[in-house]
Amino acid sequence: MRIGLHVAASLAAITLGAMASSALAAPAITVTPASDHPSAKVGVTGAGFGAGETIDIYFDTTDELLAISDANGRISKHTFKTSADTLPGQHWVTAVGRRDGDAAQKPFTASTTWAEFGFKPKGGRNNPWENVLAPSNVKKLDTAWRAQGGDYRFGADSSPAVANGIVYEGFDNPVCCSGLLAAFDATTGAHLWTLSGDAIEASPTVANGTLYIGWCDSGLRAFNAQTGASLWVAAIVSCYSSPTVVGAMVYIGSEDGHLYALNATSGAQSWTAATGGPVISSPAVANGIVYIGSSDGNLYACDALSGGILWTAVTGGEVDSSPAVADGRVYITSVDGHLYAFNAATGAMLWAVVVMNSIFPLSPAVADGVVYAGSGDGELYAFDARTGASLWSAPTSNDIESSPAAANGVVYIGAGDDRVYAFDALTGARLWTAQGGAISSPAVADGMVYVGSGDSFLYAYALDGGNNANYKRRHTQPPSFSTLHPDYRLKP
Query: CA–CA separation, 314 vs 349, rounded Å?
Result: 9
Residues 231 and 353 in one domain: yes
Residue 462's pLDDT is 97
Q: What are phi and psi for residue 470, nearest 5 degrees?
A: -60, -20
Residues 206 and 309 in one domain: yes
Do the Cβ atoms of 380 and 374 come closer than 8 Å?
yes
Residues 150 and 104 in one domain: no
Residues 69 and 141 in one domain: no
Do the Cβ atoms of 92 and 107 come closer than 8 Å?
yes
381 in a structural domain: yes
Query: CA–CA separation, 318 vs 362, rounded Å?
Result: 12
Which of 49, 82, 110 terminates a domain? The answer is 110
pLDDT over 60 at 5, yes or no: no
Query: CA–CA separation, 363 vs 323, rounded Å?
Result: 7
Mean pLDDT of 150-169: 87
Mean pLDDT of 461-481: 90
The burial class, CB within 10 Å (0-12 / 13-18 / 19+), for 85 is: exposed
Which of 58, 80, 110 terminates a domain? The answer is 110
Average pLDDT for the chain: 91
pLDDT over 50 at 1, yes or no: no
Residues 180 and 100 in one domain: no
Q: Indicate yes or no: pTM above 0.75.
A: yes
Its domain, for residue 14, covers 2-110
pLDDT over 50 at 257, yes or no: yes
Question: Of 123-127, 196-200, 315-319, which range is least confident?
Answer: 196-200
Residue 313, domain CATH: 2.130.10.10
Virtual CA dihedral for 30, 36, 37, 39, nearest 10 degrees?
-30
Residues 105 and 254 in one domain: no
pLDDT over 70 at 232, yes or no: yes
Q: Sign of the C-alpha dihedral, residues 245, 408, 80, 97?
A: positive
pLDDT over 60 at 6, yes or no: no
Digit-coded pLDDT (tens) for 401-427: 889 999 999 999 998 888 999 999 999
Residues 62 and 202 in one domain: no
195-222 residues labelled b (16+ CB within 10 A) or e (exposed):
beebbbbbbbbbbeebbbbbbbebbbbb
Query: CA–CA separation, 196 vs 397, rounded Å?
Result: 35
192 in a structural domain: yes
Question: Could you tell me which residues come within 8 angstroms of residue 17 by beta carbon, excluding any fewer than 6 positions away?
Answer: none
Q: Sign of the C-alpha dihedral, residues 14, 16, 22, 26?
A: negative
Query: CA–CA separation, 130 vs 125, rounded Å?
Result: 12
Query: CA–CA separation, 49 vs 230, rounded Å?
Result: 44
208 in a structural domain: yes
Mean pLDDT of 236-255: 92
The burial class, CB within 10 Å (0-12 / 13-18 / 19+), for 65 is: middle
pLDDT over 60 at 220, yes or no: yes
492 in a structural domain: no
Residue 21, domain CATH: 2.60.40.1930
Residues 216 and 241 in one domain: yes
121 in a structural domain: no
Digit-coded pLDDT (tens) for 348-400: 999 999 987 655 568 999 999 999 999 988 899 999 999 999 999 999 988 88
Mean pLDDT of 292-303: 97
87 in a structural domain: yes
Residue 439 in 3-state DSSP?
coil
Mean pLDDT of 322-329: 97
Mean pLDDT of 195-219: 89
Question: Could you tell me which residues come within 8 angstroms of residue 393 by beta carbon, excluding any fewer than 6 positions away?
Answer: 379, 380, 381, 382, 428
Residues 13 and 139 in one domain: no
Residues 355 and 311 in one domain: yes
Query: CA–CA separation, 402 vs 125, rounded Å?
Result: 12
Residue 438's pLDDT is 61
Query: CA–CA separation, 41 vs 366, rounded Å?
Result: 25
Residues 86 and 144 in one domain: no
The larger pLDDT score, comparing residue 14 to residue 475, is at: 475
pLDDT over 90 at 115, yes or no: yes
Q: What is the CA radius of gyration of the chain?
A: 26
Number of domains within the chain: 2
- Calculate the CA 92 to chain-centre distance: 23
Residues 143 and 203 in one domain: yes
